[in-house]
Amino acid sequence: MKQQVFNPYLPSWEYVPDGEPHVFGDRVYVYGSHDAFGAPIFCVNDYVCWSAPVDDLSDWRCEGVIYKKTQDPGNPLGIRSLYAPDVTRGPDGRYYLYYAFDFLGEMGVAVCDTPAGKYEFYGKVRHKNGRVWGKQSGEQFPFDPGVLTDDDGRVWLYSGFATKVPFVASRWHDLRNDGGVVMELEPDMVTIKTEPKLLFPTRDKPGAFPHSFFEASSIRKVDGKYCFVYSSQYNHDLCYAMSDRPDGGFEYGGVLVDLGDLYLNGNEDESHANNYLGNTHGGLLNIGEDWYIFYHRQTNRSSYARQACAEKLERTTDGGFKQAEVSSCGLNGGPLKGKGRYEARIACNLWANGHATGRVDGANPKKRLRDHPYFTQSGRDREEHGDQYIANMRDGATAGFKYFLFDGTETRIRVEGRGSGSFLVSDGRKTVADVPVNGEGAFRIDEGVHPLFFEYRGEGPADFLFFEIR
**Residues catalogued as catalytic:** 18, 215
DSSP string of 240-277, one letter each residue: EEEESBTTB--EEEEEEEETT-TTGGG---GGG-SS-B
Nearest to 25, CA basis, from 109, 93, 121, 103: 93
Residues of the chain by 3-state class (helix, strand, coil), percent to 5: 5, 45, 50
How far apart are alpha carbons 401 and 378 in whole angstroms?
22
Contacts of 152 (CB under 8 A, 6+ apart): none
Cα 357 to Cα 169, 239, 377, 409, distances in angstroms: 33, 22, 21, 35
Helix (H) or strand (E) holding 170: helix 167-170
User: Cβ–Cβ contacts within 10 Å for residue 334, how many?
Assistant: 11
* Closest C-alpha to 306, from 52, 66, 18: 18
Gyration radius from the chain CA atoms: 22
Cα separation, 52 vs 61, whole angstroms: 6
Handedness of CA 214, 219, 222, 226 (dihedral sign): positive
Strands of the 302-313 sheet, one edge to the other: 284-287, 290-299, 302-313
The three-state secondary structure class of 168 is helix
Measured between alpha carbons, how far is residue 190 from residues 118, 119, 409, 414 in Å? Answer: 19, 15, 61, 56
Which residues are CB-contacts of 206 (< 8 A; sequence separation ≥ 6)?
A: none
CA neighbours within 13 Å on the CB side: how many for 36?
Answer: 15
The answer for 354, left when phi > 0, alpha when psi is -120 to 50, beta otherwise, is left
Q: CA angle, 196 as apex, 190 and 198 as ends, to 5°?
A: 145
Is the CB of residue 169 less than 8 Å from the CB of residue 134? yes
Measured over all CA atoms, what is the biggest interatomic distance in the chain, rounded to whole angstroms?
A: 73
- Alpha-carbon span 90 to 76, nearest angstrom: 27
